[in-house]
Structure 1
C-alpha cells in the first residue's frame, strides 16, 4: 500500500523548490528583452546613457540568472531522487525536452550571458547587440522546453504505453513539441515574465527618482518599462484566455474546480466573482451571467461539465482501467497472449484511472463499488484553494493593465516623474508580479492533482520508496539552502542598485577614467555626445 505521508512530503519538497526557483525565472525573461531593447537604442543613437542603462539592468539580470540556474539544477535531480517511478514510466518522453532545455540553459544561454558581460571591449557594437538579443532569445527558448515538458504532463500526446517495457514511449515528437497546452502555457508564462521585468524596472527607477539619483537613467528606463509593460500586461490577459480555452478542451476537471462548479449549468455558464460554501453543502455566490461559458467555450450553446458529472465519467474510466490492468497482468504471465495484448491496446488510455485504485487495494481487479466511487472522487482537486488563487492571479493581471496604461499615458505626456504618489505606487507594487506568477504555478500544478501525468499516472504512484525521515531532512536542507540563496540574491541586488550604473561600469571593465567614470574605449564616444 502507498504511504501517503511519503507522497505528501515528496510533493511538498518539489513544490517548495519549484516555487523558490520560479522567483527567478520571470525576472530573467523580462529583463533579458528590456536589456536588448535598451542596447538597440544605444546602437541606433550612440548615446552613452543607453549603454549605461543596458549595463546596469544587465548586472541585476546576471545576479538573478545565476540564482535561477543554481536553484533549477536541484529540481532536475529530484525527478530521479523523489519520483523514481515517474522517471521510469515516462522518462523516454519527459527526458527529451528536459535534456534540450539543459543544453539551452547551460551551454547556449550561459555562453551568451558570458559574452554579454565580458565582450563589451572585444566585440563591435553590432556584434554585442546580437549577443544581447541571443541572451534574450536563449532565455525564452530555455523556458519553451521546460514548458513543453510540463505541458505534456498536463496533456500527454504523441506517446503510447508499451506493455513489454511497461513504459510510455514517444510515437510523434512533433506532437509533443506542438502540444496545444504546452504552447498556450509558454506564451502565457513568458508574457507574465515580461510584466515582471517591466514592474521591476519601473520600481527601481521610481526609487531612484524619489531619491534624486541617476535621474536620466531612471526616466528613460521608466519610459521603456511603461510601453513594454503595457504591451505585456495586455498580452498576459489575452494569452491567459487562450490558455483557459485550451484547458477547457483537455483539463475539464481543473476548470470546474477553479470555478467551484459542482453542477453542470445551462450554456453559457456564468462566471463566479466570489463564492463561499454553506454549512448545508450549497454555495453562496455572485455570478456574472454567460461570461464563463463565452470565455471557455467561445460559444452560446456548449455546456461546461460540472464536477459531479466529471466524477461520474471518471468512474466509467476507472472500470475500463480495471479491464486494462487485468489484461496487462495476463500479458505479463503469458507474453504470447494475443487477446490480452489487443485488450491492452484498446484500453491502455484508461489504465491510469485504474491505478487510482492502488490507493485502496493492491488487487485492483477486485475493487468494490465503494472503492471505485472513492477513487473517482479522488479525481477532484481541492476546490477552494484553486478558486481563490485563480481570482488573485486574474485580479493582479487586470490591475497591471490599469497601472501600465496610466504609466504609458504619463510617459507620453512627460509626467512620469511629476507626481510622487505615482512613484510611491510604482515601488509598492513590486511584489505583485511574483505573487501572480506563483499563483499561476499553483493553479497549473495543484489543479492537475491527483495526476503526475494527466489521466496516465497518479501522483501517489509516481513517488520513490523513501522514508519519512529522508524527506524531512532533505526538505529542511533544501528550504534552508534556498532561503540563504534568496537572501544572498537580495543583498547582491541591493548592493548593485546602491552602487548605481557608474560604479558597475568600473567594476565590470577594471579601469575607468576618474573624470568621466567611463571605460577608456568609450571616452571618445562620450565626449563626442551632446550634453543630455
Structure 2
C-alpha cells in the first residue's frame, strides 16, 4: 500500500524547492530583455548614460541569474531521488525537452552571460549588443523547453503507453513541442517575468528619485520600465485568457475547482468574484458577474461548463473503463502473443491511468468495490478553496499592474516622473507583488493538476520513490536551510549594489592596459679596497 506521508513529504520538498527557484526565474526573464533594450539605445545613440544603465541593471541580473542556476539544478536531481517511478514511467518523453533545454538553451545562456560581463572592452559595440540579446534569448529558450516538459504533464500529447516496456514513449515529438497547453503556459509565464522585471526597475528607480540620487539614470530607466511593463501587463492578461481557454479543453476539473463550481450551470456560466464556503465546502454566498466565465473559457454563449459533481461521475466511468485496460495489460504480460488482449488494450488504454487511482486503496485493483471506485473518482477533485483564492489573487494583481503601468506611462510621456512622491513610494512598496502573483500562479497551475503528476496518465502518489520518513525530513530541512541562506545572500548582494549605485566600469572588468612595473633599482656599488702600500 502507498505510504501517503512519504508522498506528501516528497511533494512538499519539490514544491518548496520549485517555489524558491521561481523567485529568481521571473526577474531573470524580465531584466534580460530590458538590458538588451537599454544597450540597443546605447549603441544607436552613443550616449554613455545608457551604457551605465545596462551595466547597473546587468549587475543585478547577474546576481539573480547565479542564484537561479544554483537553485534550479537541484530540482532536476529530485526526479531521480524522490520521483523514481515517475522517471521510469515517463522518462522517455519528459527527459527529451529537459535534455534539449540543457544543451540548447542553458549552455547558450551561461556562455553569453560570461561574455556579457567580461567582453565590454574586448568586443565591438555591435558585438557586445549581440551577446546581450543572445543572453535574453537564451533565458527565454530555457523557459520554453522547461514549459514544454511541464505542458506535457498537463496535456500528455504525442505519446503512448507501450505494454511491452511498461513505459510511456514518444510517438510525435512535434506534437509535444507544439502542445497548445505548453505554448499557452510559455507566453503567459514569460510575460509575467517581463512584468516582474519592469516592476523591479521601476521600484528601484523610484527609490533613487526619492533619495535624490542618480536622477538621470533613474528617469531613463523608469521610461523604459513603464513602456515595457505596460505592454507586458496587457500581454499577461490576454495570454492568461488563452491559458484558461486551453485548460477548459484539457483540464475541466481544474477550471471547475478554480471557480468552486460544484454543479453544471446553464450556458454561459457566470464568473464568481467572491464566495464563502459552507460546512460542506460548497459556496453559501457568492458575488458573480453573469456570463463572464462562459465567455472567457468557452468563447461561446451556448457551451456548458461541467461542474465538479458531474466531472466526478465521468471520472468513475473512466475508472471502470481503465479497469478493462488494466486487465488487458495483465493478459498481455502473461501472454505477449495475445492479440485479443492487445486489441482491447488499444481501445481502452487512454483510461489506464484512472485505474491506477485505485492503487491508493488496494493492490489488486481488478477486484475494486463500488465504494472504492467512488472514492478514487472523488480523488480527482483538487482542494477547491486554495485554488479559488490563489486564482483571484493572481488576477487582481495582474489587473492592478495594467492600471499602474498605464499611469506611469502617461506620467513618463508628460515628463512628470518626480511630481508625486506618494506615487514614487507606491512604486517602491509594490515591489513584492509580482512575486506574489507568480507564486500563486504556480499554485493554480500545479496544485490544480492534482491528483495527477501527468494528467490522466500517472497519479502523483504512484510516482514517488520508496523512501524512508527521516530521509525526506533531513533532505527537506537541508534544502530549506541552504535555500534560505542563498536567498539572504542574494538580497544582501542586491542591496549592496543598489546602495553603491551605477558605475562606468563593469563589475568584472579586466584592465587591458599592461601594468607598469618599475625597473629594479641597481645594486649598490661594492666598496673599494685601499691599495696596499707595497703595490704603489
* Same topology, TM > 0.5: yes
Residue 454 (structure 1) aligned with residue 455 (structure 2) = yes
Q: Which deviations, in whole Å up to 9, do the C-alpha atoms of 1:38-94 show, x marking residues without a partner?
A: 000000000000000000000000000000000000000000100000000000000
Structure 2 alignment gaps of length 5 or more: 514-536
Residue 212 (structure 1) aligned with residue 212 (structure 2) = yes
Greater Cα shift, 9-18 or 206-215: 206-215
Cα pair 1:184 1:246 within 8 Å, conserved: yes
Moved over 6 A (4+): none
**Aligned partner of residue 121 in structure 1, secondary structure:** coil
What residue number does 1:227 align with?
227
Alignment of 1:80-119 (within 5 A): 80-119=80-119
Shift of 1:509: 2.2
What residue number does 2:435 align with?
434
What residue number does 1:414 align with?
415
Distance 1:27 1:296 in 2: 29
Distance 1:353 1:179 in 2: 22
What residue number does 1:45 align with?
45
Cα pair 2:106 2:142 within 8 Å, conserved: no
Shift of 1:499: 1.4
What residue number does 2:301 align with?
300
**Aligned partner of residue 121 in structure 2, secondary structure:** coil
Shift of 1:102: 1.3
Q: Which deviations, in whole Å up to 9, do the C-alpha atoms of 1:238-294 show, x marking residues without a partner?
A: 000000000000000000000000000000000000011123665211111000000
How many positions carry a matched residue from both structures? 512
What residue number does 2:517 align with?
none
Larger Rg: 2
Greater Cα shift, 25-34 or 206-215: 206-215
Q: Which deviations, in whole Å up to 9, do the C-alpha atoms of 1:209-236 show, x marking residues without a partner?
A: 1111111000000000000000000000
What residue number does 1:344 align with?
345
Residue 493 (structure 1) aligned with residue 494 (structure 2) = yes
**Aligned partner of residue 22 in structure 1, secondary structure:** helix
Alignment of 1:183-194 (within 5 A): 183-194=183-194
What residue number does 2:356 align with?
355
What residue number does 2:527 align with?
none
Distance 1:372 1:235 in 2: 43
What residue number does 1:34 align with?
34
CA distance change for structure 1 residues 512 and 286 in 2, over 3 Å: closer, same or farther?
A: farther
What residue number does 2:529 align with?
none
What residue number does 2:137 align with?
137
**Aligned partner of residue 90 in structure 1, secondary structure:** helix
What residue number does 1:65 align with?
65
CA distance change for structure 1 residues 313 and 220 in 2, over 3 Å: closer, same or farther?
A: same
CA distance change for structure 1 residues 280 and 179 in 2, over 3 Å: closer, same or farther?
A: closer
Shift of 1:104: 3.5
Alignment of 1:449-528 (within 5 A): 449-502=450-503, 505=505, 507-510=507-510
Shift of 1:508: 2.9
Distance 2:149 2:339 in 1: 34
Distance 2:282 2:308 in 1: 14
What residue number does 1:375 align with?
376
**Aligned partner of residue 446 in structure 2, secondary structure:** helix
Distance 2:364 2:227 in 1: 60
What residue number does 1:443 align with?
444
**Aligned partner of residue 275 in structure 1, secondary structure:** strand
Shift of 1:496: 1.0
What residue number does 1:403 align with?
404
Distance 2:506 2:454 in 1: 50
Cα pair 2:59 2:507 within 8 Å, conserved: no
Greater Cα shift, 491-500 or 101-110: 101-110
Residue 265 (structure 1) aligned with residue 260 (structure 2) = no
Distance 1:493 1:242 in 2: 35
Q: Which deviations, in whole Å up to 9, do the C-alpha atoms of 1:177-197 show, x marking residues without a partner?
A: 000000000000000000000
Shift of 1:340: 1.1
Cα pair 1:506 1:512 within 8 Å, conserved: no
**Aligned partner of residue 273 in structure 2, secondary structure:** strand
Shift of 1:374: 0.2
Residue 13 (structure 1) aligned with residue 13 (structure 2) = yes
CA distance change for structure 1 residues 145 and 432 in 2, over 3 Å: closer, same or farther?
A: same
**Aligned partner of residue 260 in structure 1, secondary structure:** coil
Shift of 1:498: 1.2
Structure 1 alignment gaps of length 5 or more: 514-532
Shift of 1:331: 1.0
Cα pair 2:323 2:366 within 8 Å, conserved: yes
CA distance change for structure 1 residues 512 and 395 in 2, over 3 Å: closer, same or farther?
A: farther
Cα pair 1:264 1:309 within 8 Å, conserved: yes
What residue number does 2:388 align with?
387
**Aligned partner of residue 505 in structure 1, secondary structure:** coil
CA distance change for structure 1 residues 280 and 345 in 2, over 3 Å: closer, same or farther?
A: closer
Distance 1:474 1:147 in 2: 26
What residue number does 2:75 align with?
75
Distance 1:77 1:280 in 2: 40
Greater Cα shift, 100-109 or 182-191: 100-109
Residue 55 (structure 1) aligned with residue 55 (structure 2) = yes
Cα pair 2:117 2:506 within 8 Å, conserved: no
